[in-house]
Structure formats: C-alpha cells, structure tokens
Amino acid sequence: MKANSSNAKGMNRRNFIASSGGAMLILAAGTSPSILKGAEILTIPSLPYPENALEPIISAKTVSVHYGKHHKGYLDNLNKLISGTEFADMTLELIIQKTSGQTDKAAIFNNAAQTWNHTFYWRSMNPNGGGEPPKSLLEKIESSFGSFDECKKQIVSAATTLFGSGWVWLVVDGKVLKVVKTSNAEVPFVSGMKPLLTMDVWEHAYYLDYQNRRADFIAATLDKLINWNFAVKNFEATM
Ligand SMILES: [Fe+2]
C-alpha cells in the first residue's frame, strides 16, 4: 500500500483507505479543507453527514467536539510525531501495523490507531440506520450468534463491561462473526480480525448526552443509527 510515486503518494494521502486484513475498502474520497495542508501529510475525510444528523441520539455538540477536537487532534498529533521519520511516507494502516506492540512507538501507534478508528466509527453510523441488517448479513449473524438479539446483547454487554476507554467491534474472525472489545486505541485488524462495525465507548463519545449511562448510549445507537449497510460492504470485502 506504499505509494510508488509522489503523485500516487499524494492521492494515497488524500484518500483514506481502511483495510481489514486482506480486505480493503475506500472509506471516503472527500477531505476536510481545514486539515488538507499538502500531499505529504495524512488527512481524514469529512464527516459523511452533517453534525446534527445523528440527533436526537447523538447531539450536534457531541459530534462537533468529537470530530473537530478529538479526531482531528489525533490526526494533528500523528502528523507531528511522524514528520521527518521513517513513518512519514507510510499509509495510516502501515503505520499502525509497524508500531503495534512497540513500546517505544506507543505515541505514534495510539494517535494513528485513533485516527483510523474514528474514521471507521463515523461510517459505522447513519442517520437512517438501526433496524435489522440486510438478509445476507443477518443470516451470517444468526449462524454465528444464534440470533440477532443475541448479537445485540453481546454488543451492549461488551460496551458495559469494558473497563475504562475503548471500542466495541463486530468482526469477522476466521469463518465466524464475533463481538470483541479493545482498550484505548487497540485495533482488531492487527490481530487478523476484519472489522465490520465499531462503537466508540470513550466517554467523549457520549458523556455530554448520556453522562454515565453508557448502556443507554449503545442501545440507542444500535436501535437508531448503526449502519448495517456499511457492515455488509465490509463483510463482502472479506469474501
Ligand atoms: Fe472517540
């Protein structure tokens, strides 16, 4: 995934590409002009919907701070950390793979993984989301979990039992779907699992709207916002 020419590298930087193991998926072609400083830095795509599109489940204020301060903050930190280093010419995913588990590279890993996770998170929701997954994914969920309700139950359970900050993921692990949780910035794809969806359970994702009611935030997101079509595309890309 490393760029082969300066022009290709520029395109690579401008198009955030997320992979799940061998599967690859272009998340968005757009970028935010406020953070597009040139071809030599990493950028993130704009939100796929207006800041108020997730209301009343997630407020515009939460989305604004979460995207504009936290997500962009991780990106800005990362660009500072990798400037002039061996990581400066790598894709975001390669930076994550190269720094995962490297204690002396923890700052780069954390900011790179958080940049990736948040881009994946915004696309894991949709203003018209929720409900049941399309049939192809629903059948896979039922064969892996026994029922769709059991899958949702495991997502809520993972979110509420995760100690501290982290992420809950629906992933493909081998031939089955699983719900897994990761602490802080950890990313399932470095362990070979292929993410289909994620939910941010850092307090900054919900505290303004839900305070300590993390379970309510997760349940409402599942019912009204979760983007099953995004999960289907990611699932199909693993096949
Ligand atoms: Fe977050």
Q: Point out the domain boundary residue: 123, 143, 161.
A: 123
Closest by alpha carbon to 108, among 125, 123, 86?
86
Query: Which DSSP helix (H) or strand (E) runs through 194?
Result: strand 194-200
* Residue with tokens 């969920």, as numbered in its chain: 141
| pTM of the shown model | 0.85
Looking at the fold, whether 146 and 102 belong to one and the same domain comes out as: no
Distance (Å) from CA 35 to ligand 1 centroid? 18
Distance (Å) from CA 139 to ligand 1 centroid? 30
- Reported for 95-101, long-range contacts at CB under 8 A and 24+ positions apart, including other chains, are 96/187, 96/189, 96/190, 97/190, 100/187, 100/190, 101/190
Domain of residue 38, CATH code: 1.10.287.990
Distance (Å) from CA 204 to ligand 1 centroid? 6
Closest by alpha carbon to 124, among 222, 70, 198, 38?
198
Looking at the fold, whether 150 and 61 belong to one and the same domain comes out as: no
Q: Yes or no: say if 18 and 27 are a contact pair by the CB < 8 Å rule.
A: yes
Looking at the fold, whether 185 and 101 belong to one and the same domain comes out as: no
Q: What values do phi and psi take at 125, rounded to 5?
A: -125, 160
As a whole number of angstroms, the distance between CA 19 and CA 161 comes to: 27
- Evaluate whether residue 130 is within a structural domain: no
Distance (Å) from CA 184 to ligand 1 centroid? 10
Q: What values do phi and psi take at 181, rounded to 5?
A: -120, 145
Looking at the fold, whether 16 and 119 belong to one and the same domain comes out as: yes
Cβ within 8 Å of residue 108, ≥6 positions away: 78, 81, 82, 87, 95, 99
Looking at the fold, whether 116 and 18 belong to one and the same domain comes out as: yes
The helix/strand/coil state of 220 is helix
Distance (Å) from CA 47 to ligand 1 centroid? 13
Distance (Å) from CA 225 to ligand 1 centroid? 16
Structural domain for 84, as ranges? 6-123
Q: Point out the domain boundary residue: 61, 89, 123.
A: 123
Looking at the fold, whether 96 and 147 belong to one and the same domain comes out as: no
Distance (Å) from CA 7 to ligand 1 centroid? 32
The helix/strand/coil state of 186 is coil
Q: What values do phi and psi take at 137, rounded to 5?
A: -80, -35
Q: What's the number of domains the chain is made of?
A: 2
- Tens digit of pLDDT per residue, the chain (239 long)? 333 333 333 333 433 433 333 333 334 333 333 333 344 689 999 999 999 999 999 999 999 999 999 999 999 999 999 999 999 999 999 999 999 999 999 999 999 999 999 999 999 999 999 999 999 999 999 999 999 999 999 999 999 999 999 999 999 999 999 999 999 999 999 999 999 999 999 999 999 999 999 999 999 999 999 999 999 999 999 98
Q: Point out the domain boundary residue: 123, 146, 175.
A: 123
Distance (Å) from CA 132 to ligand 1 centroid? 25
Q: Yes or no: say if 195 and 189 are a contact pair by the CB < 8 Å rule.
A: yes
Distance (Å) from CA 149 to ligand 1 centroid? 26
Looking at the fold, whether 148 and 200 belong to one and the same domain comes out as: yes
Residue 239: the pLDDT is 85
